[in-house]
């Protein structure tokens, strides 16, 4: 049950990011749910590998490269889902920052 609620919250955060950021487009709420599912799968399978491979850069940038890793995952997800479009990699980086901020706010309100 907690996983489903988390997916719904992620979908809402993605929709809010699409509303705030031009160049980050999501067609519908259903598409946002699919994006949340694909991102959850990518976070489990791909993200640990990317973190290990980029550990020196992440340490040198004091963790800021983590936003680039999240942007890479967003771009990968946009390639798999038809109703999800990101105009540029810069837009993906800004979106990953916005998603992190909104998620932190939502988590602080929920807890």
The whole-number pLDDT of residue 63 equals: 93
pLDDT of residue 2: 86
Q: Which of 65, 1, 70 is nearest to 42 (CA)?
A: 70
Report the phi/psi class of residue 63: left, alpha or beta, with left for phi > 0 and alpha for psi in -120 to 50: left
DSSP at 21: S
Does residue 110 carry a pLDDT above 90?
no
Q: What is the pLDDT of residues 36-73, one digit of tens each?
A: 999 999 999 999 999 999 999 999 999 999 999 999 99
pLDDT score at 111: 75
The pLDDT score that the predictor gives to residue 66 is 95
pLDDT score for 35? 96
Cβ count near 11 (within 10 Å): 21
Under 8 Å CB-to-CB from 100, ≥6 apart: which residues? 67, 70
**Residue 7 falls in which region: left (phi positive, over 0), alpha (psi -120 to 50) or beta:** alpha
Q: Residue 53, Cβ neighbours under 10 Å: how many?
A: 11
Q: Which positions ≥6 away from 83 have C-beta within 8 Å?
A: 26, 27, 28, 31, 34
């Amino acid at each position: 049950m907690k996983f489903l609620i988390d997916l719904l919250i992620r979908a809402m955060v993605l929709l809010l990011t699409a509303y705030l950021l031009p160049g980050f487009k999501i067609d519908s709420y259903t598409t946002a749910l699919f994006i949340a599912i694909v991102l959850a799968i990518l976070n489990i399978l791909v993200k640990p590998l990317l973190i290990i491979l980029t550990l020196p850069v992440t340490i040198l940038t004091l963790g800021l490269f983590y936003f680039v890793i999240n942007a890479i995952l967003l771009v990968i997800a946009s390639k798999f889902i038809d109703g999800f479009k990101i105009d540029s990699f810069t837009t993906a980086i800004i979106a990953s920052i916005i998603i992190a901020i909104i998620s932190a706010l939502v988590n602080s309100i929920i807890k």
